[in-house]
Amino acid sequence: MAEPTKASKLSKTDGPTDATPNVSDVETVEAATETEAVAAIEAPVERGEPILQVRNLVKHFPLTQGILFKRQIGAVKAVDGVSFDLYQGETLGIVGESGCGKSTVAKLLMTLERATAGEVFYKGQDITKLSGRALKAVRRNIQMVFQDPYTSLNPRMTVGDIIGEPFEIHPEVAPKGSRRQKVQDLLDVVGLNPEYINRYPHQFSGGQRQRIGIARGLALNPEIIICDEPVSALDVSVQAQVINLMAKLQDEFNLSYLFIAHDLSIVRHISDRVGVMYLGKMAEIGSDEQIYEHPTHPYTQA
């Protein structure tokens, strides 16, 4: 399957451009009731099979009362019936205000949280039902870049140990004798000096730390990377550099990104399609042109 052309929007040397791609796919999502999943109507486009399918995903956190004898008195509906598809080589942006459930969706896809209900299919396999070795195998192919480059890196570990830690869990990716070279190759890929392998996180700037986080996410050769607001903690000038790097890596490794952010301009520049979350639901999903120029949901219009 041919890769999407969206990454060409970003110059690999300059900041994000204002060019708009010729995207023909348009989806419209009708508003959902409390018990209905979001319904997506997609124009016929040759995409192939989705690499990730999310169906009616739900996560409710219980509200309890009492100290010794706790009882549930309600629930917080953090994610309430979210559905979407992610295709090979595509960037799907997820936007919404704080508290709308974006990061909870990311944790559910990574199985860092267990879903209350719903299904998440990776290549046709429902990962919400997996455990043990089967889940471990899937996790190798779905990695994450975290929001805060300062707290997501262990200050007591060297860069080499941080990037190479996944190899301890998946030794088949890099046998012990080749791990140092593999880590140095990853540092080079993300634009850092391979000789920095023995340095500690405090010796790097915020942008450099996020590059280390990206290198760690690439270590196991994943197909999908979930980016949970990966540039929100960085200076504006550094944000463009990291976004350009991610676009370059997507071209090079045919990665699929789920890019979560609250900055609409950043999401528009990097995404092929954009989903808008509101109160735990996917209010609307479509091409960036539709979402930004012709929104249909009242929340998106506002």
Query: Of 10-19, 163-172, 183-192, 223-232, which range is least confident?
Result: 10-19
Reduced to 3 states (helix: H, G, I; strand: E, B; else coil), residue 196 is helix
How many CA atoms within 13 Å lie on the side-chain side of 182? Answer: 21
Q: For tokens 């860092």, what's the residue?
A: 112
Q: Which residues contact 145 (CB under 8 A, 6 or more apart)?
A: 210, 213, 214, 217, 225, 226, 227, 228, 230
Cα 131 from Cα 179, distance rounded (Å):
27
List the beta bridge partners of residue 28: 41
pLDDT tens figures, 62-111: 998 888 888 888 899 999 999 999 999 999 999 999 999 999 999 999 99
Cα 176 from Cα 119, distance rounded (Å):
36
Cα 91 from Cα 93, distance rounded (Å):
6
pLDDT tens figures, 144-155: 999 999 999 999
Please name the amino acid found at residue 79: V
pLDDT tens figures, 122-150: 998 999 999 999 999 999 999 999 999 99
Per-residue tokens: 171: 């030794």
- What pLDDT does 3 receive? 40
Quick check: 182 pLDDT over 70? yes
Fill in the DSSP letter of residue 2. P
- What pLDDT does 172 receive? 93
pLDDT tens figures, 243-292: 999 999 999 999 999 999 988 888 998 999 999 999 999 999 999 889 99
Cα 253 from Cα 148, distance rounded (Å):
24
Q: Comparing C-alpha atoms, which of 139, 127, 97, 137 is closest to residue 229?
A: 97
Cα 79 from Cα 108, distance rounded (Å):
10
Residue 267: its H or E element: helix 264-270
Per-residue tokens: 297: 């949901």
C-beta of residue 232 within 8 angstroms of C-beta of residue 263:
yes
Q: Comparing C-alpha atoms, which of 101, 95, 111 is closest to residue 81?
A: 101
Q: Comparing C-alpha atoms, which of 291, 278, 243, 284 is closest to residue 99?
A: 278
Domains and CATH numbers, the chain: 6-10+22-301 (3.40.50.300)
